[in-house]
Amino acid sequence: MAESRRSDSAGEASRQRQFLNVVSRQEATSRFRQHLHLEPVGAEDVSLSEARHRVLAEDIRSPVDVPAFDRSNVDGFAMVAADTFGAQEEAPVRVRPAGEVIAPGVFPETAVRHGQAVAIATGGMLPRGADCVVMIEHTDLVEQDGETWVEISRSAVPGQFVTFAGTDVANGEAVAWTGQLLSSREIGVLAAIGRERVRVYRRPRVAVISTGDEIVPPGQPLPTGCVYDSNAAILSAAVEELGGEPVPHGSIPDNEEELQQALEKAMTCDVVVLSGGTSKGAGDLSYRVVERLGNPGIVAHGVALKPGKPVCLAVTDGKPVVILPGFPTSAIFTFHEFVAPVIRALAGLPIEERPSIKATLPVRVNSDRGRLEYLLVGLVGGGNQLAAYPMGKGSGSVTTFSLADGFIRIDEQTEIVEPGAEVTVTLLDREMKPADLVVIGSHCVGLDTILGRLRREGLTIKTMHVGSLAGLNAARRGECDLAGMHLLDPGTGEYNRPFVTDELELVQGYRRLQCLVFRPGDGRFESKPPVEAVKRALADSDCMMINRNSGSGTRALIDRLLEDAGASRDQPPPGYGIQAKSHNAVAAAVRQGRADWGVAIDRVANDYGLAATPLQDEHYDFVIPRERRGRPAVQRFRELLDSPAVKQELSSLGFRPAAAQ
């Protein structure tokens, strides 16, 4: 039974390949759009208070003049400007007050004649005959012989302090157009012409379906081997950002009938987006269900793109149905590539061109021939030049997309991009905001704590966890403000200092305790000095270790430990090839039984409920490029590092202070 399932699966996987008939991105797009009606899906009336961020579905002409009458802009007297000629402080002109005061909202009954003035409030309607308003400050009411006069102390010109009817908006004038995106500014004008409701394009409804047995909705417990459904959340929010209305359809297990039902329900929406589990088997199931749609049905399955090769594009009766790959980065990239422009068109919005910027690639990048590759990068300033670091976590990562500044395109013909190459980075956000502090290097929970404080003080921080050595090199190139490192020099047995070159300043950080970690109760390791414990492990062919990536400070420690225990370089112990990239990955493997021992800091061992034998009091320090020492965020970082509050917090996390120099 087990064997037959296995063979079936392998066979199925081979068959699935047959369906992938990889076409170019252009070909896929053109086949897809050919069957779509890229027009707004409809219109609806909304009140002005709901109109923000909506797209107008009508041209709007004003049914009124704004203002609707000649309006006084000040408190004062409406009169004939010619009557004021020659008036000055020492020789005021006298006119007779006439009529009632003209308040806003009141139609003035009396006309003004030569020699007369009518009191008018700001916003009041200019009476017939008046051609200007004299400010109250330049008038005086005087009584003489039982009669009241208005004295004018400054001459006026015709039209003074008057806004004529229709000056702002003329009756019949177009003030807004079909396709216009409404912000507070347009809404103000629409209110001013008396519009209470406007016709806007209906938001396209986008069904979002996640598939896969291993997919668990956020908020629920996570069984081993399962993953939280991040695609539904990010796709739904992205649909909103594009002007659509996401309609969640939940996570559907790998069951053809349930998937069929979900798809049928989803077809009431304007667009249907499925994203596979991470398994191609699940993708195949979605494909089988979507394959039954006709007119025309699937138009492309397999696109020469990385990430995103297995994307499947279908149209049925003009409705787009897309199966995105399950891996988060693949899903969001193919979504933005194929689905986003469709949503914007259906919402009546123009295609947005993302801005781009030039940068230099500091490292070598390999790419697959025959596929257009989108490589997510983080941008950091190096002098006048930006450096574009590949984010490097692969298409299965969800943080890659959230932390990247943009991406570069590597065309189908290019296999290698050499370090130093100039690249064009398409930005993910509209703007490239420089961070107050750029931190590249080894990751540490203690460092996280200090950066969290800086963030709460309002500073923006960009971090890239690339390991000690890569961080050191980035600091040497001036690409970061700060690199966390813990590199042991095998020659001197000293941490970090031997690696510091002239352009860098070493800032003492703290100590962390590297330990041999194992499951509690494992007699092979318990209560034994590390070298003894590793010797026992080497003697047991069933005993699995877990290694760390080369270039990491911990890897150097592991290699020394193995050497001390007499391991052979030529025949490394089982598990030596598994190069986990963090303390956490080591601890997780040991806890889950995928390995029996590894090296990690005590803090992490505690978090995972593992036993830990102290191995080395490690120095976690910082290097700062000298030319960047004066930056305010760098100075603030150093202040915090020296502060009693941070020292106490680090201590509570299990980190110890560096010895006094």
Q: How far is the CB of 177 from its own copies (least distance, A)?
A: 4
The reply to whether 6 sits near its own copies by the rule CB under 8 A is yes
The reply to whether 169 sits near its own copies by the rule CB under 8 A is yes
Range 583-612, binding its own copies (CB under 8 A): 583-585, 587-589, 592-595, 604, 607-608
How far is the CA of 146 from the CAs of 143, 150, 267, 278, in angstroms?
6, 13, 86, 96
> Distance (Å, rounded) from C-alpha 84 to C-alpha 81?
6
Q: How far is the CB of 501 from its own copies (least distance, A)?
A: 30
Q: How far is the CB of 142 from its own copies (least distance, A)?
A: 11
Of the pair 230, 613, the CB lying nearest its own copies is at 230
> Quick count: other Cβ atoms within 10 Å of Cβ 233?
17
Q: How far is the CB of 96 from its own copies (least distance, A)?
A: 11
Q: Which two tokens stand for residue 554?
A: 């911990």
Tokens 């290699």 correspond to 559
Candidate segments 105-113, 489-497, 521-529, 612-620, binder of its own copies by CB under 8 A: 105-113
> Distance (Å, rounded) from C-alpha 66 to C-alpha 31?
50
Angle at 309 between CA 306 and CA 313, to 5 degrees: 130
Give the helix/strand (H/E) hosting 33.
helix 25-34
The reply to whether 298 sits near its own copies by the rule CB under 8 A is no
Q: Which one of residues 25, 33, 54, 71 is an interface residue with its own copies (CB under 8 A)?
A: 71
The reply to whether 219 sits near its own copies by the rule CB under 8 A is yes
Q: How far is the CB of 627 from its own copies (least distance, A)?
A: 25
Range 349-368, binding its own copies (CB under 8 A): 350
> Distance (Å, rounded) from C-alpha 270 to C-alpha 244?
10
Of the pair 246, 553, the CB lying nearest its own copies is at 246
Candidate segments 189-197, 510-518, 616-624, 638-646, binder of its own copies by CB under 8 A: 189-197
Range 12-51, binding its own copies (CB under 8 A): 13-14, 17, 48-49
Q: Which one of residues 38, 191, 416, 539 is an interface residue with its own copies (CB under 8 A)?
A: 191
Q: Which one of residues 19, 94, 154, 213 is an interface residue with its own copies (CB under 8 A)?
A: 213
Range 469-528, binding its own copies (CB under 8 A): none
The reply to whether 340 sits near its own copies by the rule CB under 8 A is no
Range 264-283, binding its own copies (CB under 8 A): 277-282
Of the pair 34, 183, the CB lying nearest its own copies is at 183
Q: How far is the CB of 243 from its own copies (least distance, A)?
A: 13
> Distance (Å, rounded) from C-alpha 365 to C-alpha 312?
28
The reply to whether 632 sits near its own copies by the rule CB under 8 A is no
CA quadruple 378, 382, 383, 386: dihedral, nearest 10: -30
Range 439-458, binding its own copies (CB under 8 A): 443, 445, 448, 451-452, 455-456, 458
DSSP 278: S
Nearest to 323 by CA among 291, 294, 370, 371: 291
Candidate segments 85-93, 470-478, 578-586, 634-642, binder of its own copies by CB under 8 A: 578-586
> Distance (Å, rounded) from C-alpha 564 to C-alpha 556?
12
Of the pair 352, 627, the CB lying nearest its own copies is at 352
Range 112-141, binding its own copies (CB under 8 A): 119, 121-129, 131-132, 136-137, 139, 141
User: Mapped to the 3 state alphabet, what secondary structure does 45-113 carry?
Assistant: EEEHHHCCCCEECCCEECCCCECCCCEECCCEEEECHHHHCCCECCECEEEEECCCCECCCCCCCCCCC
The reply to whether 232 sits near its own copies by the rule CB under 8 A is yes
Of the pair 2, 660, the CB lying nearest its own copies is at 2
The reply to whether 574 sits near its own copies by the rule CB under 8 A is yes
Range 607-626, binding its own copies (CB under 8 A): 607-608
Percentage helix, strand, coil for the chain under 3-state DSSP, each rounded to 5: 30, 30, 40
| Residue burial 487-523, b: 16+ Cβ < 10 Å; e: rest | bbeeeeeebbeebbeeebeebbbbbbbbbbbbbeebe
Q: How far is the CB of 582 from its own copies (least distance, A)?
A: 5
Q: Which one of residues 24, 153, 171, 356 is an interface residue with its own copies (CB under 8 A)?
A: 171
Please report which residue ranges of 406-444 form alpha helices under DSSP H: none
Name 152's bridge partners.
93, 139
Contact call for residues 310 and 20 (beta carbons, < 8 A): yes
> Distance (Å, rounded) from C-alpha 293 to C-alpha 272?
12
Candidate segments 260-268, 376-384, 397-405, 629-637, binder of its own copies by CB under 8 A: 397-405
Please report which residue ranges of 77-170 form alpha helices under DSSP H: none
> Distance (Å, rounded) from C-alpha 403 to C-alpha 462?
8
> Quick count: other Cβ atoms within 10 Å of Cβ 225?
8
The reply to whether 240 sits near its own copies by the rule CB under 8 A is yes
Q: How far is the CB of 588 from its own copies (least distance, A)?
A: 4
Nearest to 209 by CA among 170, 239, 183: 239
Of the pair 35, 336, the CB lying nearest its own copies is at 336
Q: How far is the CB of 523 from its own copies (least distance, A)?
A: 19
> Distance (Å, rounded) from C-alpha 295 to C-alpha 280?
25
Q: Which two tokens stand for residue 362?
A: 């500091």
Tokens 């394959």 correspond to 291
Contact call for residues 236 and 208 (beta carbons, < 8 A): yes
Q: How far is the CB of 284 from its own copies (least distance, A)?
A: 10
Range 526-545, binding its own copies (CB under 8 A): 544
Q: Which one of residues 265, 288, 396, 421 is an interface residue with its own copies (CB under 8 A)?
A: 396
Tokens 């807004």 correspond to 176
The reply to whether 67 sits near its own copies by the rule CB under 8 A is yes
Nearest to 310 by CA among 294, 293, 292, 330: 330
Candidate segments 263-271, 370-378, 400-408, 623-631, binder of its own copies by CB under 8 A: 400-408
